[in-house]
Chains A and B, each alone.
Chain A
Amino acid sequence: AQSVSQHNHHVILSEAASLELGCNYSYGGTVNLFWYVQYPGQHLQLLLKYFSGDPLVKGIKGFEAEFIKSKFSFNLRKPSVQWSDTAEYFCAVILDSGGGADGLTFGKGTHLIIQP
Chain B
Amino acid sequence: NAGVTQTPKFQVLKTGQSMTLQCAQDMNHEYMSWYRQDPGMGLRLIHYSVGAGITDQGEVPNGYNVSRSTTEDFPLRLLSAAPSQTSVYFCASTWGTSGAHNEQFFGPGTRLTVL
Report A's interface with B, CB cutoff 8 A: 4, 9, 32, 34, 36, 42-46, 49, 51, 90, 92, 94-104, 106-109
Rounded to whole angstroms, the CA-CA distance of A51 and B101 in the bound complex is 8
CB under 8 Å from chain A, chain B span 19-71 = 31, 33, 35, 40-45, 48-50, 56, 58-59
With the chains together, A32 CA to B103 CA distance in Å? Answer: 10
Within 8 A of A (CB), among B63-115: 90, 92, 97-101, 103-104, 106-109
Is the beta-carbon distance between A101 and B56 smaller than 8 angstroms?
Answer: yes
Residues of chain B with a CB closer than 8 A to A109's CB: 40, 42
**A103 nearest CB neighbor, chain B only:** B45
Partner of B100 from A4, A45, A46, A97 at Cβ < 8 Å: A97
Determine how close the nearest CB of chain B comes to the CB of A73; give it in whole angstroms. Answer: 17
Residues of A contacting B58 in the complex (Cβ-Cβ under 8 angstroms): 100-101, 103
Given the known inter-chain contacts A101-B56, A106-B43, please indicate yes or no for A34 contacting B97, CB distance below 8 A. Answer: no
* Complex interface: chain A residues within 8 A of B90 (CB): 43-44
A95 to B45, CA, bound (A): 14
The answer, among B40, B41, B99, B108, for a CB contact under 8 Å with A104, is B99
Contacts of A46 in B (CB 8 A): 103-104
Tell me the complex Cα distance, A32–B33, Å.
18
Measured between alpha carbons, how far is A98 from B59 in the docked complex, in Å? 14
Please tell me if the beta carbons of A100 and B103 are within 8 angstroms of each other in the complex.
Answer: no
- Could you tell me the distance between the alpha carbons of A19 and B41 in the complex, rounded to whole angstroms? 22
